[in-house]
Structure 1
Amino acid sequence: MCSGLWCVQILPQRKSTDGLPLFMLMLWSSCGVPFGVYAIVQKFNFALQFQPQCFGLLTLICWGQALHYSHHWRTWTATVATVLVAIGLGLTEMILILTLRKPYYNGVKWPMMMMAIIASVMQAAGLILPYFELAKRKGRVVGIDFTFLTVDYSGAFFSLMALVAQNTFDVLGGTLYLVCMILETGIFISHWIWLWRVRHVRSEAKKAGMSYDDYIAEHPSKKLARNHSSDTIADVEACDTPPASLVSPPEKCQMKPERMGEVTAPITDVEKQSEATTNHTSYIQ
């Protein structure tokens, strides 16, 4: 079940890959190599061995589609690039399996540990990249379908359960699935927060019979804006003034009173000179 979920989670995109980071797709496709080596050499069950191969292939197809739709590569050029990368990744995985299998069976464990660590880091890095897209869109998820996220999350969960069901639990393999689940949970939460923040605007758009994007295009003032309130606060006691662009005309700060109800006026240079002369005269007398 977990293998099936992870195999269908990356479906080919249709005419749009907006919001889908290209580098994320390449990282995910590439992480299938170390994870595949790790699963095959350690003789996991067939589903867990097949899963990274299918996942990497489908992700690579989406990478090629992103080249075509978002980066405007010609169809033939994007197809050739995808095939060449697929051949390169396949050969790399085959060489690593043949190279690392014998040392592992002879008791050398650290190469397999490195494969698991590399796969986990690449998987996590691929899921971190969408957070930059979320920051650009104030938390809104664009380009990543929630059906995909749900299937992907379910695949990670059931894969983790498959490891639990084995005779011995593999910590590094389980870490890969756990990291995936945590980062995807963050994506869910980010979009839910965005939906809450724009709930009134979405309600207005629905009443107008328009989509959110179309409604915002006609009413730009309804768009979420950054909060600049912190830039307009002036500390009067510290004589701090807001930026000149925010205050017109500029205001003068007031001196702090010495006592309640008493305001001390600033001492001028003439008064200082007069006081100094008086003190000097008193000294001579």
Structure 2
Amino acid sequence: MPVNVVAENVFGYLGAFCWAIQLVPQIWKSRRTKDTNGLSQWLVLLWALSAPFLGVYVIVQNLNVPLILQPQLFCTFALVSWGQCQYYGKNRSKLVSIVLTVSVAAILGCFEVGMVFALKSSNHEGQVNQRGLQFFGIVCSVIISLALFPQYYEIWRLGEVRGISITFMIVDLLGGVFSDLSLIFKADFDTIAAITYTLVVPTDAEGGLLSWYLLGKNLR
């Protein structure tokens, strides 16, 4: 595939946009119903935990701006959704839920900034410590791939789709597709980042199919 900076950035921005708004339908649904029963708090917490690892990787690799923004937005909305799980699902007070959410955000933010400086300072003659950098990309891929399994369990446990927005899963899937396309048009194809984005597609597709199957089963 020929290098195309315009296509790289267009698809990058589309991917960033999808991942910026993907959890908005879920956040809105939880706020509207004041209920997160059926939405696994581990799904959104693990997603939030994966974001700093991806953030370190894309920043040090100096990928395009949209792909650098993605993990930051991803983490923010995942933590908002997790905070809703504490408030609506765990019946914690609003203050406690906010404090917990902000505390986790601060810890993850400090971790990401610290690791970015640590990796950049370990450069030798302009070369990044590739093993250290690959570690962050691989850990992110593993966490993202595992994060949806708690949600699958919730769907099977309840025997129905409850508390989760199908729209958010579809938009998340599109974000992975557009981000992959952005990497295809980049001069140097980034395999680890591509694996991370690609893993989102089958896991979301599987979750969506499971949700539609159980929804149809319950309607019969």
TM class, shorter-length? 0.7 to 0.9
Partner Cα separation in structure 2 for residue 101 and residue 47 of structure 1: 21
- In the TM superposition, residue 108 of structure 1 has moved relative to its aligned partner by 2.3
Q: Deviations over 1:138-188 (max 9, x none)?
A: 3x3222211111111111110111111111211111111111111111112
Contact 1:41–1:97 (CA under 8 A) maintained in structure 2: yes
Over aligned residues, Cα RMSD in angstroms?
Answer: 1.4
Query: What is aligned with 1:72?
Result: 91
Query: What is aligned with 1:146?
Result: 166
Query: What is aligned with 1:189?
Result: 209
Q: Which amino acid aligns with 1:7?
A: A
Partner Cα separation in structure 2 for residue 199 and residue 89 of structure 1: 42
Larger helix percent: 2
- 1:228-243 aligned at under 5 Å gives the runs none
Query: What is aligned with 1:116?
Result: 137
Contact 1:124–1:179 (CA under 8 A) maintained in structure 2: yes
Query: What is aligned with 2:19?
Result: 6
97-106 or 157-166, which deviates more: 97-106
Q: Which amino acid aligns with 1:76?
A: L
Q: Does 1:127 align with 2:148?
A: yes
Partner Cα separation in structure 2 for residue 143 and residue 188 of structure 1: 14
After superposition, the Cα gap between the structure-2 partners of 1:87 and 1:199, relative to the gap in structure 1 and judged at 3 Å, is closer
Q: Does 1:28 align with 2:41?
A: no
- In the TM superposition, residue 107 of structure 1 has moved relative to its aligned partner by 4.5
Query: What is aligned with 2:106?
Result: 87
Q: Which amino acid aligns with 1:197?
A: K
Partner Cα separation in structure 1 for residue 216 and residue 85 of structure 2: 30
The TM-score with structure 2 as length reference comes to: 0.86
1:144 match: secondary structure = coil
Q: Deviations over 1:5-37 (max 9, x none)?
A: 101111233111111111211111111100000
Query: What is aligned with 2:3?
Result: none
Query: What is aligned with 1:137?
Result: 158
The TM-score with structure 1 as length reference comes to: 0.67
For structure 2, list consecutive stretches of 5 or more residues without a partner in the other structure. 1-13
Q: Which amino acid aligns with 2:175?
A: G
- In the TM superposition, residue 196 of structure 1 has moved relative to its aligned partner by 3.8
* Higher Cα Rg, which structure: 1
Partner Cα separation in structure 1 for residue 55 and residue 182 of structure 2: 16
Q: Relative CO higher for 1 or 2, CA cutoff 8 Å, sep ≥ 6?
A: 2
Contact 1:141–1:187 (CA under 8 A) maintained in structure 2: no
Runs of 4+ in 1 over 4 A off after TM superposition: none
Partner Cα separation in structure 1 for residue 41 and residue 89 of structure 2: 9
Contact 1:32–1:119 (CA under 8 A) maintained in structure 2: yes
Query: What is aligned with 2:195?
Result: 175
Contact 2:40–2:151 (CA under 8 A) maintained in structure 1: yes
Contact 2:145–2:200 (CA under 8 A) maintained in structure 1: yes
Identity across the alignment (%): 29
